[in-house]
Structure 1
Amino acid sequence: MYTTGFCPYCKMAENLLHAKGVEEIEKIRIDLDPEQRNKMMAKTGRRTVPQIYIGEKHIGGYDDLARLDHKGELMPLLVS
């Protein structure tokens, strides 16, 4: 997950993933490493955080993650 140290949506995404049983989340801090921000933007086409990946699949931001959860599509991604 691309993140910053002060992003409330990043924390909400973390909390949701932990509630679904995810124990470890790889965090890439774009506020500490500007080159990572450039990589994130090139990879996702987006400028905002969080940018969440499950495996190699780009999920998007917190709203996208929450939408998947509400539709019942998040858990299948997490267990595969």
Structure 2
Amino acid sequence: MAKVEIYTRAWCGYCARAKSLLDGKGAAFEEYDISMGGPKRDEMLSRAPGRTTVPQIFIDGQHIGGSDELGALNREGKLDELLGL
């Protein structure tokens, strides 16, 4: 199974939608809550240059984007392969 990382904030509907899609696939993921900023927010900004919104999703170190991009990969039938399902 692929390593999935997701940077989120509290009360973020897009974050909840992305996590729900991943949960529905049975994909384990590591969540980094950057609500209060800190080093994980700085890490996200360096890994996803120019992206300041959440969620920011990485699969096996590859930047996927946000919730919309994750959903598009699923609709195109590409997400399962990335997740190693």
TM-score, normalised to structure 2, is 0.85
Report how far residue 35 of structure 1 moved.
2.4
The equivalent of 1:53 in structure 2 is 58
RMSD (Å) for aligned C-alpha atoms: 1.3
- Name stretches of at least 5 consecutive residues in structure 1 with no aligned partner: none
1:33 and 1:26 map into 2 onto residues whose CA distance is 17
The equivalent of 1:44 in structure 2 is 48
Report how far residue 31 of structure 1 moved.
1.1
Higher strand share: 2
Report how far residue 34 of structure 1 moved.
2.3
- Name stretches of at least 5 consecutive residues in structure 2 with no aligned partner: 1-5
| Superposition pairs of residues 1-80 of structure 1, within 5 angstroms | 1-22=6-27, 24-45=28-49, 46-79=51-84
Higher helix share: 1
SS at match of 1:27: strand
Relative contact order (alpha carbons < 8 A, sep ≥ 6): 1 or 2 greater? 2
TM-score, normalised to structure 1, is 0.89
2:17 and 2:41 map into 1 onto residues whose CA distance is 20
Report how far residue 56 of structure 1 moved.
1.1
